[in-house]
Amino acid sequence: MHTPMFSLIFSLAFLDLMSSTTTVPKFLAVLISDSGVISITACFTQMFFYGFLKAAEAFLLGVMAYDRYLAICNPLHYFTITCSNLVWKLVFCCWALAFCIVVVPMTATIRLPFCGPNKLVHFFCDHSTVIKLACGDHLISTYTGIGVGLCIMITPSFYIVYSYFRIIKSVFKIKSSHGRLKALSTCSSHLLVLSVFYLVGAGVFISSRIPYKSGDVPIMAAFLQNVTPPLINPIIYCLKAKEMQAHVLKLIKKIT
């Protein structure tokens, strides 16, 4: 369970858990107590950590694409290249890059004057929603947030597309159809996780920029983004990874 792939899965699960922890508990507290009050410090803290964790997850998915590329295109040298130290260094780079990128729109937003209405029509402090409460000119902060959001979504996408282009190119060189299917099956879990992350993320990004008569649409989209990936990702990897299935069965036998 300490192989490079499972180290990356552990990192992904940790990011999913932390991103949900930053928003869902407050959302549940609002539903239970019917009190939606949050301090400005807690609001900005929540907004920063949510953006930071989502950005780190996007970059981590790019690293996972690199891992799949090495596993298929360089199988004989896979464990030599992707040692544990390299994997954790790449994970640390994802976190560091996400932190540096998210700091930019956060700095621009914190400097805005918030002296107008203080009602946030959302279930957590989202950047695009918070800046609308500013009583000053928030055009720079708005475009900074959009630029950073696009950078987080597009930059890993280019590397993911390039990695899978190389993977498909290598797979077509395999003569047997069984070998091609076996090689592609190793990428199926990652492709499903990518689909969930990018489709939900793109839907939230678009819905937050389109004016609706009802504010429930962007709220529901953001809620799905908080709940869907952390709920589906473990299921995808547990169902597809034979090693993980065997490990879970061993744990169940020990308990029973």
Confidence of residue 117 (pLDDT cuts 50, 70, 90): low
d(CA 45, CA 22): 9
Determine the pLDDT at residue 174.
77
Q: Report yes or no: 228 and 24 within 8 Å, Cβ to Cβ.
A: no
Taking alpha carbons only, the member of 81, 106, 64, 50 closest to residue 190 is 64
For the stretch 190-221, pLDDT in tens is 788 888 888 777 777 676 666 655 556 667 77
Q: Do the Cβ atoms of 95 and 56 come closer than 8 Å? A: yes
pLDDT at 96 over 90: yes
Lowest mean pLDDT segment, chosen from 67-71, 104-108, 114-118: 114-118
Whether pLDDT at 224 is above 70: yes
SS3 for the chain is CCCHHHHHHHHHHHHHHHHHHCCHHHHHHHHHHCCCCCCHHHHHHHHHHHHHHHHHHHHHHHHHHHHHHHHHHCHHHHHHHCCHHHHHHHHHHHHHHHHHHHHHHHHHHHCCCCCCCCCCCCCCCCHHHHHHHCCCCCHHHHHHHHHHHHHHHHHHHHHHHHHHHHHHHHHCCCCCHHHHHHHHHHHHHHHHHHHHHHHHHHHHHHHCCCCCCCCHHHHHHHHHHHHHHHHHHHHHHHHHCHHHHHHHHHHHHHHC
Between 96 and 255, residue with greater pLDDT: 96
Residue-wise pLDDT tens digits, 55-73: 998 899 888 888 888 888 8
- For residues 23 and 3, the model is more confident at 23
Q: Residue 118 has what pLDDT? A: 76
Among 173, 170, 169, 231, which residue's Cα sits nearest to residue 200? Answer: 231
- The confidence score (pLDDT) of residue 229 equals 79
Distance, first Cα to last Cα, the chain? 22
- Residue keyed to tokens 């590329």: 69
Instruction: Tell me the pLDDT tens digit for each residue of 237-250.
Output: 766 666 666 666 77
